[in-house]
Amino acid sequence: MKAYKFKKLLLKSGWREDMYVVVDAMGNITSISQERPQTTSLFIENIEGAAIPGFMNAHSHAFQYGMAGRAELHNHDIDDDFWTWRESMYACALSHNPEEMRKVALNLYRRLLRNGYTHVAEFHYLHHDRQGKPYSNLAETGQAMIQAAAEAGIKITLIPVFYQQGNFSEQANERQRRFICHTVEDYLRLLESSAAAVKYYDQANLGFSVHSLRAVEPQSIISLFDAVSAQLPFHIHAAEQLKEVADCKRHLKQRPVEWILNNLPVNERFNIVHCTHLDDDEIQRLAASRANAVLCPGTEGNLGDGIFRLREYTAHKGRWSIGTDSHISLNPLEDLRWLDYSQRLTSHKRNTFSDGALHMITQSFFNGKSAMGLAVEDFFSIGKALDAAVYDLTEPHLEQASERHLLSAIIYVSNPQDMRGTLINGNWSQPNY
Ligand SMILES: [Zn+2]
């Protein structure tokens, strides 16, 4: 057992001062109190810091960290957009063997942890070898992600992705050959192997996914839901690009999110990534469905996707969380600020939310947990792991903040350098890199 005394600890009910948090040998919280623990032998670490819950990264393609910052030189004679970027990404996808993928993921996960993320949802579609042949262990590359997470010490939800074809009923192209499961049965075998892979690490669990409506036949998507446990979280990309919306309308006669809402059993286990282009009806219905919109503002900005209609979605009480996606930004504070500032820039108003910092932490934490297939009642609870991002209260902008403004000063002003560190399972993560 050990204990921490936090100068400030964030609970759902607000900041608490001088809080003792005791954890057991597994890193689970056994008590949260302003009373000093009575056990005399207990080591208590005194932290002049403010602890908020560890960030949930609900959307990652780890291999893309291997090309972060390497697709930023543009030729003015040629339009550079999502689709040209995708060609660079395919080249990256074809270049790594499982060991190289593990190394890229390890570097990424260590940096996520350093910046306050404690759990990552790995939306993993690079399944086969470089020739497109399945490995004898179908989850060979997923297992490499699990190994990287275990070595970094971050929690992981492995989400093997069903990717069946190229754009809407077109054959997959050569550069997509590492992604492809031809049938639902092929995908279910991959899911089974992935379920075995997550057992190697006690901080790993499983989700399931379809890459996008363009990548899997509608009937295959529908039948997948008959075959997979209703307990697993489901993830899918949708409505990231205008061309994708137009293609979907041409092939399925509906917009992507509209099709999902009309044809799948949408509920709180659904995590729909991007949702950038929604009409009024989709915004209302998506919010009412209790699905989680996974927003990746750093990547969406980098790729020129567009701006999610967060102001309207929030007015309908829609659920959302964040992800780093292509890893062009690994800073959760930057991504949260992007979300608010993109609304301010388009609305010409500052009040996207009444209390932006609290709203953004609440949404990204609880819905991020749900994206991992987990449920919690509070930011820190007895029986749950002590996972926290801890900010240094001696930093001038935090020292000068009253309790009322402290969370805003963290979210809108701080950077990862202002952290005391990240606690995961009751221990400081040790950045030895
Ligand atoms: Zn993605």
Decide: 268 and 290 in contact? Cβ < 8 Å: yes
Can you give the three-state secondary structure of the chain, one letter per residue?
CEEEEEEEEEECCEEEEEEEEEECCCCEEEEEECCCCCCCCCCEEEEEEEEEECEEEEEECHHHHHHCCCCCCCCCCCCCCHHHHHHHHHHHHCCCCHHHHHHHHHHHHHHHHHCCEEEEEEEECCCCCCCCCCCCCCCHHHHHHHHHHHHHCCEEEEEEEECCCCCCCCCCCHHHCCCCCCCHHHHHHHHHHHHHHHCCCCCEEECEEECCCCCCCHHHHHHHHHHCCCCCCEEEEECCCHHHHHHHHHHHCCCHHHHHHHHCCCCCCEEEEECCCCCHHHHHHHHHHCCEEEECHHHHHHCCCCCCCHHHHHHCCCEEEECCECCCCCCHHHHHHHHHHHHHHHHCCCCCCCCHHHHHHHHHHHHHHHHCCCCCCCCCCCCCECCEEEEECCCHHHHCCCHHHHHHHHHHHCCHHHEEEEEECCEECCCCC
Say what the pLDDT of residue 80 is: 80
- 93: confidence class by pLDDT, cuts 50, 70, 90: confident
Residue 223, number of CB atoms within 10 A of its CB: 12
224 pLDDT more than 70: yes
For 38, 70, 236, 311, the CA distances from 270, given in Å and listed in that order, are 45, 32, 8, 21
267-288: buried (b, 16+ CB within 10 Å) or exposed (e) per residue? eebbbbbbbbbbeeebbbbbbe
> Which residue among 325, 335, 340, 418 is the active-site one?
325
CA of 44 to the centre of ligand 1 (A): 42
CA of 25 to the centre of ligand 1 (A): 36
Cα 126 to Cα 140: distance, rounded to the nearest angstrom: 10
Say what the pLDDT of residue 430 is: 78
Write out pLDDT tens, residues 65-79. Answer: 998 888 888 888 778
327 is catalytic: no
> Which residue among 274, 327, 387, 418 is the active-site one?
274
Write out pLDDT tens, residues 132-183. Answer: 999 999 999 999 999 999 999 999 999 999 999 999 989 998 889 999 999 9
Say what the pLDDT of residue 119 is: 98
CA of 161 to the centre of ligand 1 (A): 11
432 pLDDT more than 80: no
Write out the two tokens for 379.
């930011």
CA of 211 to the centre of ligand 1 (A): 8
Say what the pLDDT of residue 145 is: 98
CA of 134 to the centre of ligand 1 (A): 22
Write out pLDDT tens, residues 180-195. Answer: 999 999 999 999 999 9
Say what the pLDDT of residue 433 is: 52
CA of 295 to the centre of ligand 1 (A): 10
394 pLDDT more than 90: yes
CA of 196 to the centre of ligand 1 (A): 24
Percent of the chain exceeding pLDDT 90 equals: 90
Percent of the chain exceeding pLDDT 70 equals: 99
Mean per-residue pLDDT of the chain: 95
| Ligand 1 ion: residues within 5 Å (CB) | 325
274 is catalytic: yes
Closest CA to 164 of 99, 228, 236: 236
In the predicted model, what is the mean pLDDT of residues 393-414? Answer: 98
Write out pLDDT tens, residues 98-144. Answer: 999 999 999 999 999 999 999 999 999 999 999 999 999 999 999 99
Write out pLDDT tens, residues 362-386. Answer: 999 999 999 999 999 999 999 999 9
Pairing mode, strands 204-206 and 208-210: unpaired
Say what the pLDDT of residue 95 is: 87
CA of 363 to the centre of ligand 1 (A): 20
In the predicted model, what is the mean pLDDT of residues 28-47? Answer: 94
Cα 119 to Cα 201: distance, rounded to the nearest angstrom: 13
Domains and their CATH numbers in the chain: 2-53+379-428 (2.30.40.10), 55-371 (3.20.20.140)
CA of 60 to the centre of ligand 1 (A): 7
Write out pLDDT tens, residues 259-315. Answer: 999 999 999 999 999 999 999 999 999 999 999 999 999 999 999 999 999 999 999
CA of 61 to the centre of ligand 1 (A): 6
CA of 326 to the centre of ligand 1 (A): 7
- 251: confidence class by pLDDT, cuts 50, 70, 90: very high
Cα 263 to Cα 371: distance, rounded to the nearest angstrom: 21
- 431: confidence class by pLDDT, cuts 50, 70, 90: low
